[in-house]
Amino acid sequence: MEKKLIVVTGGTKSGKSNFAVKIAQGLGNRVVFLATCIPQDEEMKKRVALHQKSRPPHWETVEEGENVVSVLREVKNSCQVVIIDCLTLFISNLLVSGKTGREIRDEVEKTAKEALVAPYHVIIVTNEVGSGLVPENQLGRRFRDIAGEANQIVAGYAHEVYLMVSGIPLKIKG
């Protein structure tokens, strides 16, 4: 089977992560879950714990907020599938670390290109942030814009793209 880059996008709590897990289960048993969220508070730690409980216990979890490409290279011989959850937190981490929009877009493109040459399937989970309200501050608008551009980058490289709406996956590419 040809290795695929699959993107799952949608709004908050639309079922993206659960759908990505289901796709991964159908593609192989050896799965690496690359979590880009580095929990900073108790509420986020609880969210992470709930996500971890929803995954099979034999999956490997790697937490990395900024060096996603390095992880993709490191796990190349140990898995059949990598889930990156999520692209928007990865972008947020890069933005907070002082990266420019161009640097972030370049890093996202490197990630997509690395996923294409990986010897395993890659599923990227991301948020469709531009469908809501206009953020009230400059940083929020900048994040929204960069996230929208990043989503276009990964969707452009992807073999398949799914939009999650109320827990229902809509295949929009592939």
Catalytic positions are 51
Determine how β-strand 121-125 pairs with β-strand 5-10: parallel
Cβ atoms of residues 164 and 9 within 8 Å = yes
| Residues near 17 by beta carbon (within 8 Å), at least 6 away in sequence | 51, 54, 85, 86, 125
Beta-bridge partner residues of 32: 60, 82
Distance CA 130, CA 141 (A): 9
Distance CA 18, CA 129 (A): 19
